[in-house]
Amino acid sequence: MAAQRPSQLFRNLNAKIASIPMILTAVVVFLGGTLWTVVYSFTDSKLLPRLRFVGLDQYERLWSSNRWLVSIENLAIYGILSLVFSLVIGFVLAALLDQKIRFEDTFRTIFLYPFALSFIVTGLVWQWLLNPDLGIASVIRGLGWTSFTFDPLYNADIVIYGILIAGLWQGTGLVMCLMLAGLRGIDEDIWKAARVDGIPMWKTYLFIVIPMMRPVFITTLVLITAGIVKLYDLVVAQTGGGPGIASEVPAKYVYDMMFLAQNLGQGFAASTMMLLTVAIILIPWAYLEFGGKRRG
């Protein structure tokens, strides 16, 4: 010990040294990077970032860009439907697996394996399955229904549903796993009491078990939503944003503006809007999750 009274700074010195990477990441990259992007979203940066402020110009341009509006609409449709479907399908699958069935592990392994695959792989497989000439549609035509057409990847009106099918295939396994863990956490006595009272099983699920699983649902909701906002690779692989701009999404808008169109300001404004969306979802959740505990 060099100093007689070790100053506050040197207490736990090793722990502080060991935490330097974490502190740098948190402060420089996460906090600094975010602030940097937000600040530069008010400039007219083009090829290179420069600090010439233009107020809300970039945002006005963003919200009058047709491509951005299509992106937002797609994300809204994809987001709402994938939330609803993945929660419903995930919960139903978990409830089925929770019936003390045989081969539970096998079924769970099958439902979850797509989650191990990347969005790129998922997108490419479904691009092939949904191929209008050689894919599933052709098989159905071959069965005798000759007028059958289902070509979501080439029809601008329904392309986002084609992406949704792939997204659900990849992601429901995770929801199922989280729900299954939630169901396993329900006290067996609840089930016994419900059975003694003669409450039918579906009613027990709907009115007793699901309300009890509220925390699990909220966590899952936050996780799915955070994932939805990031939707990018799947679209790139499956449709490349096409046909035309029919399946563009915000994350792709950001990338294309920053790295292809050399319109950095637009990219910064668009990514700040994405940040805002996440914040709107995240802050109430964080308040409920952590703010509540402190008070209690």
Partner 1 sequence: MADLSLPATAAARVEPRGARPRPALSRRNVILYGTLIVVALYYLLPLYVMVVTSLKGMPEIRLGNIFSPPMEITFQPWVKAWAEACTGLNCDGLSRGFWNSVRITVPSVVISIAIASVNGYALANWRFRGSEVFFAILIFGAFIPYQVMLYPIVILLREIGLYGTLTGLVIVHSIFGMPILTLLFRNYFASVPEELFKAARVDGAGFWGIYLKIMLPMALPIFVVAIILQVTGIWNDFLFGVVYTRPDTYPMTVQLNNIVNSTQGVKEYNVNMAATIITGLVPLVIYFISGKLFVRGIAAGAVKG
Cβ count near 100 (within 10 Å): 6
Choice from 68, 119, 152, 247 touching partner 1 (CB under 8 A) = 119
What distance in Å separates the CA atoms of residue 67 and residue 272, rounded to the nearest whole number?
17
Task: Give me the least distance between CB of 17 and partner 1, in Å please.
Answer: 9
Task: Give me the least distance between CB of 270 and partner 1, in Å please.
Answer: 8
Residue 285 exposed, middle or buried by CB count within 10 Å (0-12, 13-18, 19+): middle
27 binds partner 1 (CB under 8 A): yes
Residues 253-292 that bind partner 1 (CB under 8 A): 254-255, 258-259, 264, 267-268, 270-272, 274-275, 278, 282, 286
Cβ proximity of 41 and 272 under 8 Å: yes
Cβ count near 289 (within 10 Å): 14
Residue 282 exposed, middle or buried by CB count within 10 Å (0-12, 13-18, 19+): middle
Span from 50-58, 70-78, 121-129, 149-157 in contact with partner 1 (CB under 8 A):
121-129
Residues 168-187 that bind partner 1 (CB under 8 A): 169, 173-174, 177-178, 181
149 binds partner 1 (CB under 8 A): no
Nearer to partner 1, 160 or 239 (CB): 239
Question: Mind spelling out the 3-state secondary structure of 15-72?
Answer: HHHHCHHHHHHHHHHHHHHHHHHHHHCCECCCCCCCCCECCCHHHHHHHCCHHHHHHH
Nearer to partner 1, 190 or 286 (CB): 286
Residues 92-111 that bind partner 1 (CB under 8 A): 93, 96-97, 99-101, 105, 107-111
Q: What is the CA radius of gyration of the chain?
A: 25
Choice from 150, 161, 217, 232 touching partner 1 (CB under 8 A) = 232
Nearer to partner 1, 3 or 22 (CB): 22
Task: Give me the least distance between CB of 264 and partner 1, in Å please.
Answer: 7
Task: Give me the least distance between CB of 33 and partner 1, in Å please.
Answer: 4
128 binds partner 1 (CB under 8 A): yes
114 binds partner 1 (CB under 8 A): yes
Cβ count near 36 (within 10 Å): 14
Task: Give me the least distance between CB of 36 and partner 1, in Å please.
Answer: 5
Cβ count near 47 (within 10 Å): 9
